C-alpha cells in the first residue's frame, strides 16, 4: 500500500486536505477527538484546520468572493509550508488555513475505524487489546482511549495468606502477580488513533552491511536499537532483503569502502600484521565473486516487516526469505528453527525476557540472529538484567544504534560486542 492509498482510508472530508498537503515524507497521521488532525513529516508537524464559514458551502453564492480570497491565502500558506518547513508554532499565525478540516469528532473517529478495519472492528479485537493493529501495507494503527480490564481469580486467589517478604501486599501476592492477574480485555471509547505510515526505502541500510556481514556465508548476531519512530523496522527490512538476495551485499562487502574500514581497524590495533594482510587478501578475492544469498526466516508478529496479504509478502524482503506472519515471536522463532532450516532468523521489536531466551536457544542451534529492540542508548539496553548473558559473553556481536536529528536525518553508531570490552565502530550518516 502506497502513501497515497493510505489516504483512501481516512474520513472522506479529510482526504483532499491531506492530498493537498502531500504524502511525501509523511510518517504519522494522528487523529484525536476534539483536536485538529496532525500530520508528522519527521522534520515538521502540521495541524490541519478549517475556518467553518468557508466550508463546503463556500463554492457558490454570496460566500464565493470570501472563498476565493480564502483559497488564495491557503495556497500562499501551502507554498510557505513547502519552502520554509513551517513548524507547529508558526501555524498559529495563519498556516492553519492550509487545508479544509476542523477538529476531529466522534463521527470522524468511527468513520476512520470502519475504513481501517473494513467495517469489521470485531475482527481486530485481539490486536486492539494490545494497543494497536496492522492493516495491509504494513501500516501500524495505534489506539488509545479507555482500557477495559478483568482479574484472573486463580491468580489473585493463589498465595493469599498474609504479608510475605518479597514485596507482597496484604493479600499475600506479589506486585508481579498482581500485574499478571489484571488482564486488559479491550480498548473501548477510542479517542486517539495514530497511523504510522509504513515506508520501503530500498538501500537505506546499505551502509550497515559491512558491519553485519561476517565473511561470505555468515553474519554477526546483530541487534538494531532505536527509540520509537526512528526507523528500526525499515532498516531491518532492507537488511533482510540484501542478505536474502545476496547481490547488493556482495557489491558492498567487496567495495573499496569496506577495505578502508579494515585498514582503519588495523590502525586501531584491532587487526595487525598477518591478520591485516589476510583480511585484505580475503576482501580482494571477494571482489571477483558475488556474495551468495542466505536463507532468511522472518517472524513478523505485527505484519510490519513483510506486510503479508494471505501469507504472501507485499513488501520486498528478498527472494530467499520465508515469513511467518502474525505469529508471536517466542513460538515463531522455535517453529521456524524446526521447519525452515534458515541460516538467519530475523525478528522485530524484541522486548520481554522470554524473547531473548528464545534468541539464546537459536544461538546455540547454529542460527544467526538479526533483530530490533526499543532502546535509546546502549546503556539502556545493558540495564536489562536478563540481557547480561547475551551481551557479556559476546553472543550478541553487533549493536547498531540509530538516531534521528531535528531535521529528520538518520545516523548510526555500531558497537562490536564480540569481546568483553565494547568497541565503537564508525558509521557514516544515512
Instruction: Identify the pLDDT of residue 250.
Output: 44
149-207 pLDDT, tens digit per residue, is 887 654 444 444 433 444 444 444 444 444 556 788 888 899 999 999 988 889 999 88
> Is 356 in contact with 377 (CB distance < 8 Å)?
no
pLDDT confidence bin for 119, thresholds 50/70/90: very high
Sole residue written with cell 533483530: 371
Q: Read off the pLDDT of each residue in 199-218 and give the average, rounded to a whole number.
A: 87
Mean pLDDT, to the nearest integer, of 110-137?
A: 90
Which of 219 and 423 is assigned the larger pLDDT?
219
Q: Output the average pLDDT for the chain.
A: 76
Query: Three cell numbers at 320?
Result: 530467499
**293 vs 392, higher pLDDT:** 293
Domain 206-254+291-425 of CATH type 3.40.50.300 = yes
Confidence of residue 406 (pLDDT cuts 50, 70, 90): confident
pLDDT of residue 395: 85
Secondary structure of 169-192 in HEC code, one letter for each residue:
CCCCCEHHHHHHHEEEEEEEEEEE
pTM of the model: 0.67
Give 314-367 pLDDT, tens digit per residue.
Answer: 899 999 999 999 899 999 999 999 999 999 999 999 988 889 888 888 988 999
Domain ranges of the chain: 206-254+291-425
pLDDT at residue 56 above 80? no
Mean pLDDT computed over 236-261? 67
Phi-psi region of 161 (alpha: psi -120 to 50; beta: other; left: phi over 0): left
Mean pLDDT, residues 126-137: 87
- Identify the band that residue 426 occupies on the pLDDT scale cut at 50, 70 and 90: low
Instruction: Compute the CA torsion angle 254, 255, 259, 265 (nearest 10 deg).
Output: -90
Q: Is the pLDDT of residue 253 over 50?
A: no
**For residues 18-32, b (16+ Cβ closer than 10 Å) or e, as one string?**
beebebeebbbbbbb
DSSP state of 245: H
- Give the model confidence (pLDDT) of 369-379 as tens digits: 999 999 999 88
pLDDT at 251 over 90: no
pLDDT surpasses 80 at 388: no
Is 255 strand, coil or helix?
A: coil
Amino acid at each position: 500500500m502506497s502513501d497515497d492509498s493510505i489516504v483512501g482510508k481516512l474520513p472522506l472530508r479529510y482526504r483532499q486536505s491531506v492530498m493537498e498537503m502531500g504524502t511525501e515524507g509523511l510518517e504519522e497521521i494522528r487523529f484525536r477527538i476534539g483536536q485538529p488532525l496532525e500530520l508528522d513529516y519527521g522534520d515538521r508537524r502540521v495541524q490541519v484546520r478549517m475556518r467553518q464559514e468557508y466550508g463546503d458551502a463556500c463554492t457558490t453564492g454570496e460566500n464565493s468572493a470570501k472563498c476565493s480570497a480564502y483559497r488564495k491565502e491557503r495556497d500562499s500558506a501551502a507554498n510557505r509550508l513547502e519552502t520554509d518547513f513551517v513548524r507547529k508554532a508558526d501555524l498559529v499565525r495563519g498556516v492553519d488555513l492550509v487545508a479544509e478540516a476542523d477538529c476531529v469528532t466522534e463521527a470522524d473517529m468511527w468513520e476512520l475505524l470502519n475504513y481501517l478495519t473494513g467495517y469489521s472492528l470485531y475482527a481486530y479485537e485481539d490486536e486492539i487489546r494490545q494497543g494497536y493493529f496492522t492493516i495491509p501495507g504494513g501500516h501500524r494503527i495505534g489506539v488509545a482511549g479507555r482500557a477495559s480490564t478483568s482479574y484472573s481469580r486463580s491468580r489473585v486467589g493463589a498465595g493469599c495468606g498474609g504479608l510475605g517478604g518479597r514485596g507482597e501486599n496484604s493479600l499475600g501476592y506479589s506486585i508481579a502477580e498482581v500485574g499478571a492477574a489484571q488482564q486488559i480485555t479491550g480498548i473501548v471509547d477510542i479517542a486517539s488513533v495514530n497511523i504510522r505510515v509504513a515506508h520501503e526505502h530500498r538501500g537505506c541500510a546499505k551502509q550497515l552491511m559491512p558491519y553485519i556481514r561476517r565473511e561470505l556465508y555468515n553474519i554477526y548476531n546483530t541487534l538494531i536499537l532505536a527509540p520509537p519512530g526512528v526507523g528500526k523496522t525499515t532498516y531491518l527490512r532492507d537488511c533482510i532483503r540484501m542478505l536474502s538476495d545476496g547481490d547488493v551485499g556482495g557489491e558492498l562487502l567487496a567495495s573499496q569502502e569496506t577495505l578502508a574500514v579494515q585498514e582503519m581497524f588495523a590502525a586501531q590495533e584491532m587487526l595487525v600484521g598477518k591478520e591485516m594482510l589476510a583480511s585484505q587478501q580475503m576482501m580482494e578475492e571477494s571482489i571477483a565473486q558475488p556474495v551468495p544469498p542466505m536463507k532468511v526466516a522472518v517472524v513478523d508478529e505485527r505484519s510490519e516487516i513483510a506486510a503479508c496479504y494471505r501469507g504472501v509478502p507485499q513488501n520486498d524482503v528478498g527472494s530467499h526469505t520465508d515469513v511467518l506472519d502474525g505469529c508471536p515471536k517466542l513460538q515463531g522463532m522455535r517453529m521456524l528453527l524446526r521447519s525452515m532450516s534458515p541460516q538467519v532468523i530475523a525478528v522485530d521489536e524484541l522486548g520481554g525476557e522470554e524473547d531473548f531466551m528464545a534468541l539464546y536457544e537459536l544461538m546455540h542451534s547454529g542460527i544467526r540472529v538479526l533483530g530490533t529492540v526499543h532502546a535509546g542508548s546502549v546503556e539502556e539496553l545493558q540495564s536489562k538484567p536478563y540481557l547480561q548473558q547475551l551481551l557479556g559473553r559476546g553472543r550478541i556481536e553487533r549493536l547498531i544504534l540509530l538516531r534521528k536529528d531535528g531535521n529528520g536525518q538518520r545516523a548510526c553508531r555500531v558497537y562490536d560486542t564480540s569481546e568483553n570490552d565494547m568497541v565503537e565502530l564508525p558509521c557514516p550518516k544515512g
